[in-house]
């Protein structure tokens, strides 16, 4: 397929969602995207090795030398993304809150996956919060990134049942399986211009 769109993926850790995205692009000749870069703020991120094993270019911009100067960090972070010619940026376990200045550079071209059925449980500890609330269903959401945390337009959701006796770790594992299905499916649709919400059971 010609004219594949270049996708940059940002990770901070092991990058299982990154791997799901990369493999979906590499293994499907008709996929509208190609991975152009895996970028991390952590040189020890396992996701970098996993990307390199797949022949995907990698880069590191360590946030620590910048201290609390997020704008300076992001000014460096954006450079490899632009150099790679990324059309779309996917956050996949990137554990830094991005400023409006950074997000605005990729408005309408940046996706994230969040482990809850947004708008429920923005932020952290989503699985424990779902259990504490007594929810019968939990899941994950892929959304466009906007300057407000976990608040952009929803592009896809996948649900899992909350079972009796579940711990946060049990629920997290069940949700992660769905994340690996949902994120690649939404990305492919998004690159084809499809913005309707995809629902996976």
Where are the domains positioned within the chain? 1-106, 111-201
Predicted confidence at residue 201, as pLDDT, reads: 79
* Category of 101 on φ-ψ map: left (φ > 0), alpha (ψ -120 to 50) or beta: alpha
pTM listed for this prediction = 0.96
- Domain 1-106: CATH architecture, name and number where available: 3-Layer(aba) Sandwich (3.40)
pLDDT tens figures, 23-64: 999 999 999 999 999 999 999 999 999 999 999 999 999 999
The domain defined by 111-201 carries CATH number 3.40.50.170: yes
Q: What is the mean pLDDT of the chain?
A: 96
pLDDT tens figures, 67-101: 999 999 999 999 999 999 999 999 999 999 899 99
Cross-strand partners of 138: 160
Class of residue 46 by CB neighbours under 10 A (exposed 0-12, middle 13-18, buried 19+): middle
Is residue 1 over pLDDT 70?
Answer: no
Cα–Cα dist 42/62, whole Å: 6
**Which strands, in side-by-side order, build the sheet including 5-11?**
58-60, 33-40, 5-11, 88-91, 110-114, 137-144, 154-161, 198-200
Tell me the average pLDDT across 122-142: 97
Tell me the average pLDDT across 123-140: 97
Predicted confidence at residue 24, as pLDDT, reads: 98
Residue 61's CB: how many other CB atoms inside 10 A? 22
Query: Active-site residues: which are they?
Result: 114
pLDDT tens figures, 155-198: 999 999 999 999 999 999 999 999 999 999 999 999 999 999 99
Q: Is there a shared CATH topology between the 1-106 domain and the 111-201 domain? A: yes
Predicted confidence at residue 159, as pLDDT, reads: 98
Predicted confidence at residue 190, as pLDDT, reads: 98
Counting residues of the chain whose pLDDT is more than 90, the rounded percentage is: 96
């Amino acid at each position: 397929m010609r004219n594949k769109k270049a996708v940059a993926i940002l990770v901070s850790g092991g990058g299982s969602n990154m791997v799901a995205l990369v493999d979906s692009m590499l293994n499907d000749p008709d996929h509208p995207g190609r991975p152009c870069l895996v970028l991390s703020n952590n040189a020890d991120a396992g996701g970098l090795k996993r990307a390199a094993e797949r022949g995907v270019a990698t880069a590191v911009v360590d946030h620590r030398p910048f201290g609390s100067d997020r704008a300076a960090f992001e000014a460096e972070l954006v450079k490899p993304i632009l150099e790679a010619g990324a059309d779309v940026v996917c956050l996949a376990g990137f554990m830094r809150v991005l400023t409006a200045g950074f997000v605005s550079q990729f408005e309408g071209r940046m996706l994230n996956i969040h482990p809850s059925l947004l708008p429920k449980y923005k932020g952290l500890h989503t699985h424990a919060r779902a259990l504490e609330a007594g929810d019968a269903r939990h899941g994950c959401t892929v959304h466009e990134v906007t300057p407000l945390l976990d608040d952009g337009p929803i592009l896809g959701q996948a649900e899992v049942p909350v079972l009796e006796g579940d711990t946060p770790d049990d629920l997290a594992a069940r949700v992660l399986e769905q994340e690996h299905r949902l994120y690649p499916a939404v990305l492919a649709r998004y690159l084809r211009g499809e913005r309707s919400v995809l629902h996976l059971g």
